[in-house]
Structure 1
Amino acid sequence: MEIALVLVLLIILILPLTMRKVEDNLEYFLFAMGILATIISKAMSIHFILEILENHFLYMITFAVLVGGLLFRYINRYVERAMNYSLKHVSLKVFIFTMIILIGLVSSVITAIIAALFLVEIIEMLPVNRENKIKINIIACFSIGLGSILTPIGEPLATIIATKLNLDFWYMLSNIGRYIIPTIIILGILGASYGIKNNEDLEETKPRIVNQTITDIVVKAVKIFIFIIALDMLGAGFRPLVDKYIIQLDSSILYWINMSSAVLDNATLAAAEISSKMTAKQINAITLGLLISGGMMIPGNIPNIISSGRLRIKSSEWMKFGVPLGLIIMVTFYVILFV
């Protein structure tokens, strides 16, 4: 069983990078792999399926994406006007710097889902070329992923940690805010460096409205629904490996092992790993490892999934920038936490 699960994990990592059809249909591919993983680990059952379908977060995200998409379809002209007004009064670099910091910090209050929906509308209209849009979006998704942990309502990972450890509302802000907030500011500086207008191709960089049809919006919401179910199944399918080989490891090793959250649901891993018997240092290491690595690949976090679908970012495009950036942040935090 364990060998088969490792093979499934390798397939998940390799096929989206080597096969265009898999990359273009990532949601359905991960759904199929999730079914396979749960069958191999014998986690598949009627009870398990009902448990997934009873997860209110599944419907909350899908509903938010659907309603948000329909709402932005009608207000994006006003968003564009607001952006144009802002860019007349501040430079593009200052705008991007401010946007990345604000969207990261407020994600802990408005949730990572809503923050991601705002993000894609802004990124779509930025007067920069596509390559820089992708980089700015990935940086902003790292910012949302990190910022949303600061309160229990920001994302499921924060909710699970707060619930399992019986933490007060401001615990994460007071405990790891000193790591998170400076990192978000640095991400803002990095994102601003890609705020370069390409004057050679004004049409490509001109802010423009992208009109999605209602059908497009509904299909996107359905894909998000399937994607989240797939992540739930993958988490359950790989749980035997987590329980046997990961949970008992030292916190410094867990920090790196949690890079698997780039593919698996970080909330599932947190539910399996976090214990009230752990020290604050261990909890910080696990939490930060999950948060940072979650930005490396598209399945790692909800903002990644939402924005990559809307902006049509391929897995290979995301990993080309997301993996090196994530590794740099991982190494930096490892030195801070353990050296």
Structure 2
Amino acid sequence: MMVSLIIVLILVLFVPFLSKTVERNLEVFLFLMGVAAVLVSHVLDSTLLIKVFNDPLKISFAVLIAGFLFKWFQAPIEKVILGLSKAMPLRLFLLLTVITLGLVSSVITAIIAAIVLVTIVSVLRLDRKSEVRFVVLACYSIGLGAVLTPIGEPLSTIATSKLEEDFFYLLQLIGPEVVPGVIVFGVLAAVLIKPSKKFNKSFIKHKTESYSDIIIRGFKVYLFVMALTLLGAGFEPFIEKYLLNLNPLVLYWINMISAVLDNATLAAAEISPAMEVPTIQAILLGLLVSGGMLIPGNIPNIIAAGKLSITSIEWARFAVPIGLLTMVAYFIVILTIA
């Protein structure tokens, strides 16, 4: 069984880079891999099926509602974004955007923050390299910031529930590490993204999405969350056998598998109220940072990449080095606070 699960993991990691067909239909591919994982692990039952169908409902509904709102109010939203971008230098605008989206994602949810990000990118006429870098850095910021409250993303909901703590526990637990990280990603956006000759602050009305486009995106998010739930459940035997008893510093690095697996499921499997605070911090930070490395690692990634047609290779080329450097930086922080 374990060999089969490792094969599934390898396929999830590498096939999207090797096949453009898979890359264009990433949600379907991950869903099929999730089905394979639960069949191999013999964990498919009625309880899991109910969870698989129910878990994506709230997220998909939020995506649909946000999509409709942006369709109805697209013109004034674009004008506000353009007005703000004209009122300040582009570097400052990018810095403030990345930081703001990261911090408010814990209140408006990571999904809504990602949809706002897509709208901003569609208004700014950045060159392709700058656009990819901006999106990656913003998604890292959103992925970090959303964990500060239980409503920001599934990982924070599960962690707060398992630890049986109050609404502001995660803010107190890892806020001192997360908030500076969000700010650093904003600074990186200002430093690494250069205004190009293509950038123009004149207003261009962009094509309005059709209702079918919005519904299709909502379905893709639904299928994606289903896939992550299946993958997480399928890999639980693997996690329980090989990961749970490891040193938290080792687990921090192994949690880079959350780049392709649902970090909320990993958090559910790994976190326990009996753990010491530094151990919980190490687990959470490892899951949060590595989730930005590849497109399947976080829901904001797949929403932004899908809407803006960012390929897996384009994403990984910039996101993996940034993620590894961030992992090293947080590892030093963990050693300091341990």
Q: TM-score range by the shorter chain?
A: over 0.9
- 2:305 is aligned with 1:297: no
1:205-216 equivalences under 5 Å are: 208-216=205-213
Report the Cα distance in structure 2 between the residues aligned to 1:140 and 1:155, rounded to whole angstroms: 16
Shift of 1:208: 4.9
Matching residue within 248, 251, 262 for 2:248: 251
With 298-307 and 243-252 compared, the bigger mean Cα shift is at 298-307
What percent of counterpart residues are identical?
Answer: 44
Question: What pairs up with 1:105-144 in 2 under 5 angstroms?
Answer: 105-144=103-142
- Distance across 1 between alignment mates of 2:232 and 2:195: 42
Q: Residue 31 of structure 2 aligns with which residue?
A: 31
1:132-164, Cα deviation, whole Å (9 max, x unpaired): 111101101111111111111111111111111
Residue 211 of structure 1, CA deviation: 2.2
1:319 matches 2:316: yes
Separation in structure 2 between the aligned mates of residue 12 and residue 206 of structure 1, nearest angstrom: 41
Cα distance in 2 between the residues matched to 1:323 and 1:206: 34
Assess if the C-alpha contact under 8 Å between 2:71 and 2:209 holds in 1.
yes
CA distance in 2, matches of 1:230, 1:88: 41
Change (3 A) 1:13 1:63: same
Q: Identify which of 183, 186, 194 aligns with 1:185.
A: 183
**Which residue of the other structure, out of 152, 167, 170, is the alignment partner of 2:168?**
170
1:1-339 matches, within 5 Å, as: 1-55=1-55, 58-199=56-197, 201=198, 208-338=205-335
User: Which stretch has the larger CA shift, 252-261 or 129-138?
Assistant: 129-138
Change (3 A) 1:202 1:90: closer
4+ residue stretches of structure 1 with deviation over 3 A? Answer: 201-208
Q: Aligned partners of 2:232, 2:9: CA distance in 1, in Å?
A: 11
- CA shift, 1:221, in A, is 1.0
Q: Which runs of 5+ in 2 are unaligned?
A: none
1:203: Cα distance to partner?
7.8
Aligned partners of 2:305, 2:327: CA distance in 1, in Å? 22
Give how far 1:65 is off.
1.2
SS in 2 for 1:49: helix
Distance in 1 separating the partners of 2:143 and 2:202: 27
TM-score by length of 2: 0.95
Give the drift of 1:44: 1.7
- Other structure's SS at 1:193 match: helix
Which amino acid is the alignment partner of residue 276 of structure 2? T
Classify 1:316/1:266 alpha carbon distance in 2 versus 1 (closer, same or farther; 3 Å). Answer: same
| Number of aligned positions between the proteins | 336
> Is the Cα–Cα contact under 8 Å of residues 252 and 282 in structure 2 kept in the other structure?
yes
Q: Report how far residue 310 of structure 1 moved.
A: 0.9
Normalising by structure 1, we get a TM-score of 0.95
User: Separation in 2 of the partners of 1:209 and 1:140?
Assistant: 22
**Structure 1 residue 194: Cα displacement:** 4.2
Letter in 2 for 1:94: L
For the 8 Å contact 2:75–2:205, the answer to whether it is kept is: no
Q: Secondary structure at the match of 2:272?
A: coil
